[in-house]
Amino acid sequence: MTTAKTLYDKIWDAHLAHEAEDGTCLLYIDRHLVHEVTSPQAFEGLRMAGRDVHSPDKTIAVPDHNVPTTLDREKGIENKESRIQVEALDKNAHDFGIHYYPVSDIRQGIVHIVGPEQGWTLPGMTVVCGDSHTATHGAFGALAHGIGTSEVEHVLATQTLIQKKSKNMKVEITGKLQPGVTAKDITLAVIGATGTAGGTGHVIEYCGEAIRDLSMEGRMTVCNMAIEGGARAGLIAPDEKTFEYVKGRPHAPKGAQWEAALAWWKTLFTDEGAEFDKVVTLRGEDISPVVTWGTSPEDVLPITATVPSPQDFEGGKVEAVQRALDYMGLTPGMPLTDIAIDTVFIGSCTNGRIEDLRAAAEILKGKKIKEGIRAMVVPGSGLVRAQAEEEGLADIFQQAGFEWRLAGCSMCLAMNPDQLSPGERCAATSNRNFEGRQGKGGRTHLVSPAMAAAAALTGHLTDVRDLM
């Protein structure tokens, strides 16, 4: 009998509160993150059933999707529906006694940036949120995934989730990355290789030297887009970098509890000989700076490539590619570096952390963006913003011609006024290039922060290595 376990197996086993005969399990949830868009109906459901929040101490809320990011936002939210949603979260957080970072709090930001920043997210935890990018927290070796609103209500009421165990998938990135290649390029390259359904039904563990070499910020970027590869969760085993990042954060354990936690965290790795249902291996040296050209995150190519033709594909993808090229206004055979852009967006839960802003500022330092380009930086949290100002990054962005905004999800999904107009083309550090994602008719090219900065300088998609 084999006893070797994967990291996912270990976290799963540690959180099993009940298992029925048919294999349906109740998984205990250590942290429940909440935002304003996917929670109002869940709280309403609790009220209607006369139920309380089971563990308010493990429930953390922050408004992010709808909030304005302009500097005058203290005057309130103009859009009535957005305002009602944020006000509903204010009220629900107050009425049910959960932890809350309102818009006025400097700690406010994108829920997946605030959780780690405040030390809510710790290794070996189960973390859920009514948001598919919850996978971000997997960077800490936490089992973290997105849930729907009915499940939000279920977790609020019971602190558990009804689950069946997923399969184990290993994504290994061997060797070293080339200069100019970042965590974003890794995660996009993986989706390009496996497709947007490649991870469906699986939990991905990312490993290998190139993953180990990443900072915690980089690891969060990689795990963040596990969902774009179809996997509900992505994991990276915790190590000294993880512990160093967590130590001293407001909600991290202290003193004797820190020592006890550390002892357990150090057991959180995949055992030698543990089996995976699926294995994908990429060589770090083979990964280039990449961009997306279509309307699915799997539509990825190295920046040195040309726009593909529908004939390069087969099955249902042929029609999908034709539709994508029509929507994106692109012609097969065109060099990707010839694609002129109108807008640059740096931010989101994928790339809105301090290291992302440093990488972009490094490219922009002392330079001006191309005339006519609209460019904005939306830091992932108020604290990221403050740190960037302290490090002089805000000055670099502003002198280059970028708008320097307040924290929120912003143009990643365009629920607030930060949107693309029909036909407007954007180099974005966010996570989805779906039709209409950044505004009806808007055209999105997903890139790393350094590549977004490079595009802002030249006015077209650009190989950042040419500017380094």
Looking up tokens 């048919």 gives: 22
Q: Determine if 123 is a binding residue for another protein (CB under 8 A).
A: no
Angle 17-19-25 from CA coordinates, rounded to 5°:
80
Q: Determine if 41 is a binding residue for another protein (CB under 8 A).
A: yes
CB of 440 to another protein, least distance (A): 6
Residue 262 CA to residue 163 CA, distance in Å, equals 28
CB of 300 to another protein, least distance (A): 14
Looking up tokens 């006890």 gives: 260
In the set 8, 12, 28, 206, which binds another protein (CB under 8 A)?
A: 28
Instruction: For 199-227, give the secondary structure using H, E and C.
Output: CCCEEEEEECHHHHCCCHHHHHHHHHCCH
In the set 4, 197, 279, 468, which binds another protein (CB under 8 A)?
A: 197
User: Which residues 363-402 are close enough to bind another protein by CB under 8 A?
Assistant: none
Nearer to another protein, 36 or 355 (CB): 36
Q: Which two tokens stand for residue 376?
A: 């904005």
Q: Determine if 10 is a binding residue for another protein (CB under 8 A).
A: no
Whether the Cβ atoms of residue 345 and residue 411 lie closer than 8 Å to each other: yes
CB of 43 to another protein, least distance (A): 9
Nearer to another protein, 1 or 49 (CB): 49
Residue 196 CA to residue 200 CA, distance in Å, equals 8
CA 216 to chain centre: 13
Whether the Cβ atoms of residue 447 and residue 439 lie closer than 8 Å to each other: no
Stretch that binds another protein, among 93-101, 237-245, 345-353, 409-417 (CB under 8 A): 409-417
Q: Which two tokens stand for residue 152?
A: 């939000």
User: Which residues 229-258 are close enough to bind another protein by CB under 8 A?
Assistant: 230, 232, 253, 257-258
In the set 11, 33, 34, 37, which binds another protein (CB under 8 A)?
A: 37
Nearer to another protein, 126 or 462 (CB): 126
User: Which residues 55-84 are close enough to bind another protein by CB under 8 A?
Assistant: 58, 65-66, 79, 81-82, 84
In the set 435, 459, 465, 467, which binds another protein (CB under 8 A)?
A: 435
Residue 315 CA to residue 230 CA, distance in Å, equals 19
Whether the Cβ atoms of residue 108 and residue 102 lie closer than 8 Å to each other: yes
Contacts 24+ apart (CB under 8 A), 248-257: 249/117, 249/118, 249/119, 250/118, 250/119, 251/118, 251/119, 251/120, 252/119, 252/122, 253/122
Size of the site for another protein (CB under 8 A): 79
Strands 25-28 and 160-163: antiparallel
Q: Determine if 50 is a binding residue for another protein (CB under 8 A).
A: no
User: Which residues 147-166 are close enough to bind another protein by CB under 8 A?
Assistant: 147-151, 153-154, 157-160, 162, 164
User: Which residues 304-333 are close enough to bind another protein by CB under 8 A?
Assistant: 315-317, 319-320, 323
Residue 155 CA to residue 128 CA, distance in Å, equals 9
CB of 342 to another protein, least distance (A): 19
Q: Determine if 18 is a binding residue for another protein (CB under 8 A).
A: yes
Residue 23 CA to residue 13 CA, distance in Å, equals 13
Q: Which two tokens stand for residue 435?
A: 């039709």
CB of 396 to another protein, least distance (A): 31
CB of 421 to another protein, least distance (A): 12
CB of 446 to another protein, least distance (A): 14
Q: Determine if 421 is a binding residue for another protein (CB under 8 A).
A: no
In the set 64, 117, 131, 356, which binds another protein (CB under 8 A)?
A: 131
CB of 464 to another protein, least distance (A): 28
Looking up tokens 């090219």 gives: 445
Nearer to another protein, 288 or 322 (CB): 322
CB of 122 to another protein, least distance (A): 7
Query: Who contacts 348 (Cβ-Cβ below 8 Å, separation ≥6)?
Result: 110, 378, 380, 409, 410, 412, 428, 429, 430, 431
User: Which residues 263-302 are close enough to bind another protein by CB under 8 A?
Assistant: 264, 296
Q: Which two tokens stand for residue 255?
A: 């003193």
Stretch that binds another protein, among 117-125, 170-178, 355-363, 458-466 (CB under 8 A): 117-125
Strands (E), 306-399: 343-347, 374-378
CB of 259 to another protein, least distance (A): 10
